[in-house]
Structure 1
Amino acid sequence: MKMSNTIDIEIILNAYIANISKKSIIDVVQCYLEKNNVRPNSVISNFDHPILHNDVKTIIVGDTPNYTKAFIDFNTLEVKWYVYNLDNYGPMTHSETDANDEELVLATHLSLPSASLINLWENLYYDNNVKLNLLKYSQTMMEFSDKGVDCNVVSCNRVILLHGPPGTGKTSLCKALAHKLTIRMSERFTSGLLIEINSHSLFSKWFSESGKLVTKMFTKIKEILEDNNILVCVLIDEVESLAHARDQCVSGNEPSDSIRVVNAVLTQVDQIKLYPNVLILATSNMTETIDIAFVDRADIKQYLGNPSGPAIYKIYYSCIQELFKAQIIREQALEPIESLVSGQDTEFIEESRQLLRVCEKSLGLSGRSLRKIPFLAHALFIDKSLVTLTEFLVAMEKAVENEHAERHYFKNFKVEK
Structure 2
Amino acid sequence: MGEIPEGSSATWPVHIEVRLSRNSTARFDSIRQAVHEFITTSFGAVIWPSTAIDGWETIPKLETSVERIYASESSCPNRSIPISQANLQIHVFQPYPDDTYDECTGGGDGEEEVVSATVCEMPSRSLEGLWESLIYADGTKSKLLDYIYATISLSDADVDFNIVSWNRVVLLHGPPGTGKTSLCRALAQKLSIRLAHRYDHARLLEINAHSLFSKWFSESGKLVQGLFGSVMEMIEEGNRFVVILIDEVESLTAARAAAMAGTEPSDGLRVVNALLTQLDKLRHKKNVLVMATSNLPKAIDSAFVDRADIVQYIDLPPKEAIYQILHSCLLELIKRKLVQSTEVPDLKYANFLLQDHPDELPDAPDRDTQLAFNLMKLAQRCRDHQLSGRALRKLPVLAYATYGVAFNQGVTPGRGEPRPGTPVEIWLDAMEKVIDDKRLEREKMEL
1:352 is the counterpart of 2:372: yes
Given candidates 286, 290, 297, the residue that maps to 1:287 is 297
Name the counterpart of 1:406: 441
What's the offset of the Cα at 1:283? 0.7
What's the offset of the Cα at 1:274? 2.1
Kept in 1, the 8 Å contact 2:131–2:187? The answer is: yes
Q: Distance in 1 between matches of 2:270 and 2:9?
A: 48
Quick one: structure 1 residues 45 and 324, their matched pair in 2 at CA, closer, same or farther if it must change by over 3 Å?
A: farther
Residue-by-residue CA offset, 1:98-126 (whole Å, 9 max, x unaligned) = 55543311111111111121111111000
Q: Percent identity?
A: 38
What's the offset of the Cα at 1:182? 2.2
| 3-state SS of paired residue (1:362) | helix
Q: Distance in 2 between matches of 1:57 and 1:303?
A: 36
Quick one: structure 1 residues 310 and 48, their matched pair in 2 at CA, closer, same or farther if it must change by over 3 Å?
A: farther
Q: How does 1:288-303 map to 2 (within 5 A)?
A: 288-303=298-313
Q: Which moved more, 1:396-405 or 1:11-20?
A: 11-20
Q: Distance in 2 between matches of 1:227 and 1:203?
A: 29
Quick one: structure 1 residues 345 and 199, their matched pair in 2 at CA, closer, same or farther if it must change by over 3 Å?
A: closer
| 3-state SS of paired residue (1:302) | strand
Given candidates 223, 246, 257, the residue that maps to 1:236 is 246
| 3-state SS of paired residue (1:361) | helix
Quick one: structure 1 residues 302 and 253, their matched pair in 2 at CA, closer, same or farther if it must change by over 3 Å?
A: closer
What's the offset of the Cα at 1:42? 3.0
Q: How does 1:101-116 map to 2 (within 5 A)?
A: 101-116=111-126
Name the counterpart of 2:394: 372
What's the offset of the Cα at 1:357? 1.2
Letter in 2 for 1:75: S
Q: Distance in 1 between matches of 2:382 and 2:354?
A: 25
1:393 is the counterpart of 2:400: no
Q: Distance in 2 between matches of 1:319 and 1:192?
A: 30
What's the offset of the Cα at 1:215? 0.3
Quick one: structure 1 residues 47 and 332, their matched pair in 2 at CA, closer, same or farther if it must change by over 3 Å?
A: farther
Q: Which moved more, 1:201-210 or 1:25-34?
A: 25-34
Letter in 2 for 1:74: I
Kept in 2, the 8 Å contact 1:108–1:196? The answer is: yes
Name the counterpart of 2:165: 155
Kept in 2, the 8 Å contact 1:13–1:85? The answer is: yes
Name the counterpart of 1:80: 89
What's the offset of the Cα at 1:303? 0.6
Kept in 2, the 8 Å contact 1:121–1:173? The answer is: yes
Letter in 1 for 2:430: A
Quick one: structure 1 residues 407 and 141, their matched pair in 2 at CA, closer, same or farther if it must change by over 3 Å?
A: farther
Residue-by-residue CA offset, 1:33-64 (whole Å, 9 max, x unaligned) = 537x8642234699864755543222222223
Letter in 2 for 1:350: Q
What's the offset of the Cα at 1:157? 0.6
Name the counterpart of 1:134: 144
What's the offset of the Cα at 1:345? 6.2
What's the offset of the Cα at 1:190? 1.8
Letter in 2 for 1:356: M
Q: Which moved more, 1:213-222 or 1:352-361?
A: 352-361
Given candidates 186, 196, 199, the residue that maps to 2:196 is 186
| 3-state SS of paired residue (2:219) | helix
Given candidates 242, 255, 258, the residue that maps to 1:248 is 258
Kept in 2, the 8 Å contact 1:204–1:210? The answer is: yes
Kept in 2, the 8 Å contact 1:65–1:129? The answer is: no
| 3-state SS of paired residue (1:160) | strand
TM-score after normalising by structure 2: 0.84
Name the counterpart of 2:12: 5
Q: Distance in 1 between matches of 2:353 and 2:131?
A: 28
Given candidates 216, 223, 226, the residue that maps to 2:226 is 216
Kept in 2, the 8 Å contact 1:377–1:396? The answer is: yes
Quick one: structure 1 residues 4 and 226, their matched pair in 2 at CA, closer, same or farther if it must change by over 3 Å?
A: same
Q: Which moved more, 1:151-160 or 1:84-93?
A: 84-93
* Count of residues in Structure 1 that have an aligned counterpart in Structure 2: 410
1:313 is the counterpart of 2:323: yes
Q: Distance in 1 between matches of 2:165 and 2:294?
A: 23
Kept in 2, the 8 Å contact 1:334–1:349? The answer is: no
What's the offset of the Cα at 1:343? 7.8
Q: Which moved more, 1:300-309 or 1:324-333?
A: 324-333
Q: Distance in 2 between matches of 1:82 and 1:14?
A: 14
Quick one: structure 1 residues 86 and 167, their matched pair in 2 at CA, closer, same or farther if it must change by over 3 Å?
A: same
Quick one: structure 1 residues 167 and 226, their matched pair in 2 at CA, closer, same or farther if it must change by over 3 Å?
A: same
Say what the alpha-carbon RMSD is for the aligned residues: 2.7
Q: Which moved more, 1:286-295 or 1:51-60?
A: 51-60
Q: Distance in 2 between matches of 1:344 and 1:361?
A: 17
Residue-by-residue CA offset, 1:168-197 (whole Å, 9 max, x unaligned) = 111111111111122222222222111111
Name the counterpart of 2:4: none
Q: How does 1:318-333 map to 2 (within 5 A)?
A: 318-333=328-343
Quick one: structure 1 residues 325 and 295, their matched pair in 2 at CA, closer, same or farther if it must change by over 3 Å?
A: same
